[in-house]
A and B are shown apart, each in its own frame.
Chain A
């Protein structure tokens, strides 16, 4: 029967959450399904990258005397790849699922969120390796779980906010994706992934704090390596994330009415 348009019931929200979870797992699974080593690649790739970078910075340049640099750089690489894959994948989520968007009436937010969810699963797996490294280095502390959780949540929400925002425009303007990719490429160097920001001149340190990924990395490395948290950057990151979410979600929902027609 036709029911009067009413507020969405609680169990409907539960259903959408369940759908998003299932799609996220699907995204995670399908990425590694075809390869022999499967999900091991999620670990091998960053490990190899970190090994090379550690060698270059520690043995060749010898400029960087960051304690536990291999774990420092590995955590940076893993967190950054989580962020960039979430943003790029989320940006194209609706376009990539065009056949579904045209056919099934589900909340379109499901698509970017489930992409971020799929990448998050990869990152959680990588976190286990990071924790293993930290155990080896003996740098874990009682606050590690809390800081780690905060870092993961903050990064997931930040990636999700940007993904939703860009996704809303990508459907109508396919150039957005390339702009986002180029932007991320440049941001990589403006984010302390490979280097330690505390070694920069104070002037640049202050500027760098405005990068919302700074706070995430600060939390992550405090959790793993017992470094001090730069709470200013964390606060900035949290506020930026919140503002982005408050803007992105309504914009996305407003535009999603036309997705099925233009995708």
Chain B
């Protein structure tokens, strides 16, 4: 009986340690743009899209657009990949990536649209 408990405890600890390291490795903190610039590590940021300054290169499929967060910091986001379908209607973008050489290189984009599914008034 004792051996079983020890064995179970060892497995839980081993799995726990393994899980904890995967957890911290894959964790992306949700920070302000200023903080993202300071850290240079993989983080998650959110800001309002400035639609007047969006550029998209068709051949290389690189999307560049500036976002401004609540604190007023503005940063250019660079995203390689297909422009999300609802991008032009989006107000805000959540970007996961790193701040590198003057721009935020996103490898994941989450687009926030003004949802009409929020009890709009008639």
Task: Please determine whether chains A and B interact with each other in the same assembly.
Answer: no
Q: Give me the interface of A with B, judged by CB distance under 8 Å.
A: none
Q: Give me the interface of B with A, judged by CB distance under 8 Å.
A: none
